[in-house]
A = this chain, B = another copy of it.
């Protein structure tokens, strides 16, 4: 504090209250977005408490994605009207940002519960379980599709997930039809899907499933998945079951948590009927 003149803060004090590096305060002075109210003959800077409020506003705008350049534009040309119009714009942006954060929070929760669940699984077992109804967001049909078309369909699917905020954090799964499974074409999928724990209204591409499933896990890359299907088939025979209409596959451990393909884990849910 300068003795001769009232209630001012030095650069260090000001920076501390702003919770930023002192250099940042110099920098803001340099680029002209926040200059001290006073500068003494030795070049020492002095800030007022009201400038603290200005800093907090700058910080708010910066946080909402405004560049220092744009902030500087405003600072050169302050007015209550333009401030108000910026606030209205930022209000819209922050609402969007809050919604994104809320969605990401849900995504993280989903990942946590998936990983916790996975850590208690016995990957070598195949079990018969009834599955409750679930809502899935499906891609367009991708059976026997050309590579070019595949890219197009996948792009639309992924884009829709992002635009309509359908990425729940659950894995992207695939659906194969009985016919293809019986022919041994385990990777000739008919649809991709993502589960929607809290389905939104107004989306046409949903489909619910419910019924008895043989559930088991394939450890290793997709190329060796036929071995696991064989185990499913013997189990089906042993339990006198017949293959239902669809098989669902979901990655449990994939490239997100494993570098080595040979340790990837795929969950296989095979719809079955009692023969």
Contacts and interface: CB of A to CB of B under 8 A. Distances in A.
Interface of A: 1-3, 6-7, 9, 13, 16-17, 19, 48-54, 56-57, 60, 63-64, 75, 78-81, 83-84, 87-88, 90-91, 94-95, 97-98, 101-102, 104-105, 107-109, 111-112, 115-116, 118-119, 147-148, 150-151, 154-155, 158-159, 162, 167, 171-172, 192, 251, 253-259
- Count of this chain's copies in the oligomeric assembly: 2
A213 to B, nearest CB: 23
B108 A94 contact: yes
Nearest to A56: B167
B172 A49 contact: yes
A91 B105 contact: yes
B84 A119 contact: yes
Nearest to A155: B17
Given A60-B108, A81-B119, 17 more contacts: A1-B151, A7-B147, A7-B150, A7-B151, A17-B154, A49-B192, A52-B158, A63-B104, A79-B257, A83-B257, A84-B112, A84-B116, A94-B104, A94-B105, A94-B108, A95-B105, A98-B101
A54 B255 contact: yes
Nearest to A101: B98
